[in-house]
Amino acid sequence: MLKELIRWRPVSMSRSQAEYLWLILIASLIGFLSALGNLMLRELIHFFTYIFQVLEGNALRIPRGMPYSMLIVVVLVSGGLLGIVLDIIFRGEILGYGFPKFLEMIHLGEARIKPLWILTKSVGPAVSLGAGASVGREGPIAQIGGAIGSALSQLTHLSSERSKVMIACGAGAGIATTFNAPLGGLLFAQEIVLLGQTELGNLSLLVISASVGVVTSRAMLGNLAVLPAQSFVLRSYWEILTYTISGVLFGIVAAFYIRFFNATAAFFEELALPRWARVLVGMVAVGLIAVPLRRNLADGYPVIDQALNGHLSGLRMGLLFAAKFVASSISLGCGMPGGIFGPIFFIGAMGGGAIRPILAHVMPGIVAVRGSYSLVGLGAFLAATTHAPLTAIFLLTEMTGSYDATLAALISSIVALVVARSIEPESIDTYLLARRGINLEIDKDKVALSRMSVREVMKTDATTLDADARLEEIFRVADRSAQDIIPVLGPQRRMIGVIEPRNLVGLLLHVSDLNGLVNAADVSRADFPTVTPESSLEDALHLMEDELTEELPVISSDKSARYVGLICRRDIAQALTRATGSVTLPSQHDTQIYWSTGYRVARIRLPAGAEGKTLRELDTRARFGVSILAVQKGAQPGGGFELLAPDEKLHAGDLVIAAGRSAGLRALERELRGD
């Protein structure tokens, strides 16, 4: 044994292992910095709450009650004015509910978040909450963490796909530290930020970031539940029926809230007022709601805590439910900065507490304590509005420090989600994007098809017929061809129509009679759909599905409508397989993709200086550290990529796929040009 230990040597680390270790270190740093970002936001909220609700509130004598309580409106308006001033200073980066834009930047942009958001998403929401606007702090802290993740990704030159994961790491760590909920933060990043699309290796990075963030937060703030609730009570298993009913009700309410929330934003957007005036009008409205219901101000976590512990009556919770429902929509709809999670928690908790007396009246004897329904209602409403049930369940259990309600919460949340999605398929964060025609959940196959053109796949040697071909020749060609359609061409190869051999059966008995009277143009279908070489494969496939055909003629995009080829469904399928299974995925519109740190894959169109050279002669791996992976012959632009033999000559116009470091690729391009 001792001899074995003496002979032991450390195992060298591969490049991929070293890269993953580097990503783990970055994710850990993101978690740590996101915890500091959360602490910064907390302190700013406390500061502006002191400014507006203590100093300004005392100056206006609001604590004395009526008639001074009416001056709550002044406090909210002053918060709106400060938000407007900050928005002018930071050039439009303060006002507005920004989480849908955040998701759009991650999934449809370059996965880059402005570093300035670390500041603006801290100050803006802190002003809103300090003044008493009905907004939350959770969306902003997710955006702060995301901006931290993006900044570190740019600093370390990570690819866009890696950057997306690091942004999610920051967002998840921000949520995890806000609620002292590592699993909740992890699932928030997975379900809401990444839309459930991530690999196992990336999931590990999310776990690491959320864990480091929570450890850092607990070291600074302690390990306490955010909303400690009384023990959950399930009087009997018959009570599961009441939680199922409440899930149905919450699903209906959630769908209505999603639409009402966005309709309110649209209403303010359409007002014939400048943006600053819309903000002030909204703050006046929220202030008027808060005059009789002071507990509706800000995110209301102390009030939620009272509801979870059964200290509020059903009537009081019903009024607060309605007030927050409207006030949160107005606050964010008019343009005040903030998040939506806090209001959702509040509405769910108050709604659950308000439903309980009704259920107790309808089904007496099986309904348990008041706080239990607020607890389950919080999770059910969150799941139904965000369409993220796992996030809702784990946040609920970790925030309250109780797993007793898990069964009831699971049933109520899933029922609420199913009902809500059957009424409104979009979540509260994707509703507006969907109305603008933006889909964040783009399938990878669709991306590949949308980026590849018909020109790359079409056949130029398909069987065709002249317009004046006789019936006898038509049958002879149709019998020999395996095509579903045969294009019929006129002078200068102008597209006349297509013949579908399966539709010629009726003419078989009359070939001898009609042979001299009918030609290909007569029996062709002139209105058959066509595509151009510039059309995407996705468009071609959709057209095939609409027309129930396997093939489409390809015609030139100019006025001549000249026939240039034929595209088949099976060729599209083969092209998709090649694209998604190889390094050629970036498509003709992309010049490069980042493969791993320092490396990229690029397409290089060979210049005249490369004519006649071979891979053996170029010796690209030894001289430049570059591998030539495949080549597409310039003489066959419609052909696919293929491997190149070491002694096979290259030709000007060939398209090669090369992999290596950027400097090596640039040196190879200079060599090929003869510079």
Peptide bond into 182 cis (omega under 30): no
Residue 3 has pLDDT above 80, yes or no: no
Q: What is the domain count for the chain?
A: 4
Residues 207 and 108 in one domain: yes
Residue entry with tokens 């969306």: 139
| pLDDT confidence bin for 597, thresholds 50/70/90 | very low
**Domain limit, last residue, from 579, 595, 610:** 579
Residue 115 has pLDDT above 60, yes or no: yes
Distance CA 591, CA 220 (A): 47
In a domain, 3, yes or no: no
Residue 583 has pLDDT above 50, yes or no: no
pLDDT at 624 (0 to 100): 82
DSSP code, position 191: I
459 lies in which domain range? 450-579
In a domain, 365, yes or no: yes
pLDDT at 347 (0 to 100): 96
How many Cβ atoms are within 10 Å of 517's Cβ, its own excluded?
10
In a domain, 362, yes or no: yes
**Domain limit, last residue, from 546, 563, 579:** 579
Residue 89 has pLDDT above 70, yes or no: yes
Residues 646 and 560 in one domain: no
pLDDT at 542 (0 to 100): 76
Please tell me the number of Cα atoms within 13 Å of 656 on its side-chain side. Answer: 25
- Average confidence (pLDDT) over 350-376: 87
Residues 147 and 35 in one domain: yes
Distance CA 408, CA 417 (A): 14
Do 540 and 555 form a contact (C-beta atoms < 8 A)?
no
Residues 611 and 650 in one domain: yes
In a domain, 369, yes or no: yes
Phi-psi group of 195: left, alpha or beta (phi > 0 → left; psi -120 to 50 → alpha; rest → beta): left
Q: At what angle do helices 160-179 and 389-400 cross, to 10 degrees?
A: 40
**Domain limit, last residue, from 562, 579, 596:** 579
Residue 222 has pLDDT above 60, yes or no: yes
CATH number at residue 558: 3.10.580.10
In a domain, 638, yes or no: yes
pLDDT digits (tens, 9 = 90+) for 383-395: 999 999 989 998 8
pLDDT digits (tens, 9 = 90+) for 308-324: 888 899 999 999 999 99
| pLDDT confidence bin for 76, thresholds 50/70/90 | very high
- Average confidence (pLDDT) over 16-20: 77
Residue 93 has pLDDT above 60, yes or no: yes
Where is average pLDDT lowest: 58-62, 433-437, 444-448?
444-448
Residues 42 and 128 in one domain: yes
Residues 574 and 588 in one domain: no
Residues 334 and 211 in one domain: no
Residues 29 and 103 in one domain: yes
At 606 the three-state DSSP class reads coil
pLDDT digits (tens, 9 = 90+) for 241-254: 999 999 999 999 99
pTM score above 0.75: no
Residues 495 and 424 in one domain: no
- Average confidence (pLDDT) over 458-473: 85
CATH number at residue 337: 1.10.3080.10
The DSSP bridge pattern shows strands 465-466 and 486-489 to be parallel
At 628 the three-state DSSP class reads strand
In a domain, 1, yes or no: no
CATH number at residue 629: 3.30.70.1450
Question: What does the mean pLDDT of the chain come to?
Answer: 84
Distance CA 107, CA 163 (A): 11
Residues 200 and 212 in one domain: yes
Residues 365 and 465 in one domain: no
Residues 601 and 569 in one domain: no
Q: What percent of the chain has pLDDT over 90?
A: 39
pLDDT digits (tens, 9 = 90+) for 169-183: 999 999 999 988 999
Structure tokens at 41: 């936001």
pLDDT at 652 (0 to 100): 84
- Average confidence (pLDDT) over 268-281: 92
In a domain, 285, yes or no: no
pLDDT at 636 (0 to 100): 64
- Average confidence (pLDDT) over 215-240: 82
- Average confidence (pLDDT) over 453-478: 83
Q: Specify the higher pLDDT residue, 649 or 292.
A: 292
DSSP code, position 600: E
In a domain, 499, yes or no: yes
